[in-house]
Amino acid sequence: MKIKLDRTKCDGFGFCAKYAPETFDLDEWGYVSLVGAGNVAPEHEDGVRRALLDCPVHAITELHPAGEVDAGR
């Protein structure tokens, strides 16, 4: 699984770091950056998928294997 994060959308809700702390790193104000380049290890996919679905501002997007983002972008 590969994801992208749009930090211009992040409002600091922090659900992502709660569900997938190994993938999402919060700064001291609660704003997120990715740990690494967005390649999610299989054992972390469930947490990342929950983060993706629960992010209130839809800042997380799954990338298709060819590198394209979801059609809803």
Partner 1 sequence: MSLATDAPVSPALAAYPGVEGRLFRAGGREDLAAYRAAGGYADVADLERLLDEVDEAGVRGRGGAAFPIATKIRTVRGGRGVPVAVANGEEGEPASVKDRWLLRTRPHLVLDGLRLASLMVGADEVHVYVSDPEAAASVTAGLAELRGAGVWDAEVTVTVVEPTYVAGEETAAVQAIDGGPALPTDKPPRPFEAGVRGRPTLVSNVETLAHLPLVQRLGSTGYRGLGTVASPGTFLLTLSGCAATGLYEVPFGVTLTELLTWLGEDPAQVDGVLMGGYFSGVLGRQVLDVPLEYDAVKALHSGLGCGAVGVLAAGTCPVTVSAAVMAYFARENAGQCGSCFNGTAAMSAVLDALRDSRAEAEDVQRLTDWSVRLRGRGACGTLDGATNVAAALLREFPDAVGAHLDGTCATCAAADEQPVPRVPFAVALPTAA
**Interacting residues with partner 1 (CB under 8 A):** 4-8, 10-12, 27, 29-31, 33, 63, 67, 69
With beta carbons less than 8 A apart as the criterion, state whether 25 and 13 touch.
Answer: no
CB-nearer residue toward partner 1: 46 or 57: 57
Judged by CB, which is closer to partner 1: 10, or 52? 10
Residues 6 or more apart from 47 whose CB is under 8 A from it? 19, 20, 22, 23
Q: By C-beta, is 3 or 20 nearer to partner 1? A: 3
Nearby residues of 37 by Cβ (< 8 Å), 6 or more positions away: none
Least distance from partner 1 to the Cβ atom of residue 31, Å: 3
